[in-house]
């Protein structure tokens, strides 16, 4: 009896030890490059940071946060980002839903379509942006097509009125297929019996769509919208490449993350950049947590 409990105790210790060993790489990396940075960010946002030579800090209290309010470029970046989120998220969600519904129909070649549609999401943002800049060239493909149909043409890269729209079009095109695949997976989960029962009750195709499919897709739609908001809020690569890092023309493609990058690495104003980051992070985390609350509950039932 004592021998057995001694044995079990040894085994438990061994088990615990191996558990910690399995976790060690993760704990070290997440500790140094995630937990520490988060704490560091919070502390440094209250400091003025000197990046040149040896990095040094000076406590400045809430000064960085006070500055945000009067910063004209923050207002512009916020306006651009909000506009971008408000236009891109609904359109890409609807497009993803439409494509998923079309592909969910029992047709030949659907997996081929799915693989083809998905292509932009695996292509790098840098390459996509370069390809679209080439298409948006003032004597480029898009303008040629527009003038062929006698539609107005634009200087997509240089006109502040349309530059951000160019990025919107590109990213809707690039992101919708990702969400389409998630919608498609959700559509597989709709119980067939519901449709059969509805058919017996004499429901039409549209009736079934409104009363069965759509309600069933509500949680996944919520998930997709929130993921879309989080993703669009973080727009950086495309704006950076499009404008050579300036956010131009005339600040038209300046986003919050691009502004943070500029303050940190062009103006070397790290403390202020971190204060901005914290505000952005707070917004994103709020959205994420709300999503987890809803989505987590929906999923677990």
Under rule CB under 8 A, which residues in 120-139 are in contact with another protein? 120, 122-128, 130-135, 137, 139
Taking the least distance from each CB to another protein, the nearer of 164 and 179 is 179
The count of C-alpha atoms lying within 13 angstroms of the C-alpha of 11, restricted to the half-sphere facing its C-beta, is 6
Residues 127, 238: contact at Cβ < 8 Å?
no
Q: Is 177 in the site for another protein (CB under 8 A)?
A: yes
Single residue of 18, 83, 267, 293 touching another protein by CB under 8 A: 18
Taking the least distance from each CB to another protein, the nearer of 157 and 252 is 157
Compute the least distance from the CB of residue 83 to another protein, in Å: 19
Residues 167, 238: contact at Cβ < 8 Å?
yes
Question: Residue 143 CA to chain centroid, in angstroms?
Answer: 29
Residues of this chain, 201-260, that bind another protein according to CB under 8 A: 204-206, 208-209, 212-213, 220, 223, 227, 230, 234, 236-237, 240-241, 244, 257, 260
Compute the least distance from the CB of residue 100 to another protein, in Å: 11
Give the whole-angstrom CA distance, residue 133 versus residue 119. 19
Tokens of 42: 């919070």
Tokens of 129: 């942006």
Single residue of 68, 87, 91, 187 touching another protein by CB under 8 A: 187
Single residue of 71, 182, 246, 248 touching another protein by CB under 8 A: 182
Residues 184, 113: contact at Cβ < 8 Å?
no
Residues of this chain, 259-298, that bind another protein according to CB under 8 A: 260-261, 264-265, 270, 273-274, 277-278, 280-281, 284-285, 288-289, 292
User: Whose CA is closest to 187, among 203, 171, 208, 201?
Assistant: 208
The count of C-alpha atoms lying within 13 angstroms of the C-alpha of 82, restricted to the half-sphere facing its C-beta, is 7
């Amino acid at each position: 009896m004592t021998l057995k409990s001694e044995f079990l105790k040894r085994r438990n210790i061994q088990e615990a030890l191996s558990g910690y060993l399995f976790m060690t790489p993760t704990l070290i990396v997440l500790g140094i490059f995630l937990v520490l940075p988060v704490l560091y960010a919070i502390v440094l946002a209250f400091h003025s940071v000197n990046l040149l030579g040896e990095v040094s800090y000076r406590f400045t209290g809430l000064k960085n946060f006070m500055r945000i309010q009067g910063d004209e470029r923050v207002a512009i970046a916020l306006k651009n980002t909000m506009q971008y989120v408000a236009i891109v998220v609904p359109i890409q969600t609807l497009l993803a839903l439409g494509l998923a519904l079309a592909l969910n129909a029992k047709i030949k070649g659907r997996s081929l379509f799915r693989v083809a549609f998905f292509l932009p999401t695996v292509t790098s943002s840098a390459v996509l942006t370069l390809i679209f800049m080439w298409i948006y060239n003032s004597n480029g493909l898009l303008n040629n097509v527009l003038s062929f149909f006698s539609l107005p043409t634009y200087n997509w890269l240089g006109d502040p009125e349309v530059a951000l729209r160019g990025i919107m079009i590109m990213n809707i095109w690039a992101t919708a297929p990702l969400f389409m695949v998630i919608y498609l997976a959700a559509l597989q989960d709709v119980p067939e019996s519901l449709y059969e029962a509805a058919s017996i009750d004499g429901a039409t195709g549209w009736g079934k769509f409104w009363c069965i499919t759509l309600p069933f897709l509500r949680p996944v739609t919520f998930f997709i919208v929130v993921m879309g908001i989080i993703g669009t809020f973080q727009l950086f690569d495309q704006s950076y490449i499009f404008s050579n890092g300036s956010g131009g023309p005339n600040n038209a493609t300046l986003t919050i993350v691009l502004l943070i990058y500029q303050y940190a690495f062009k103006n070397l104003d790290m403390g202020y950049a971190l204060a901005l980051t914290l505000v952005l992070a707070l917004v994103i985390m709020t959205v994420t947590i709300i999503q987890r609350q809803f989505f987590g509950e929906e999923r677990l039932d």
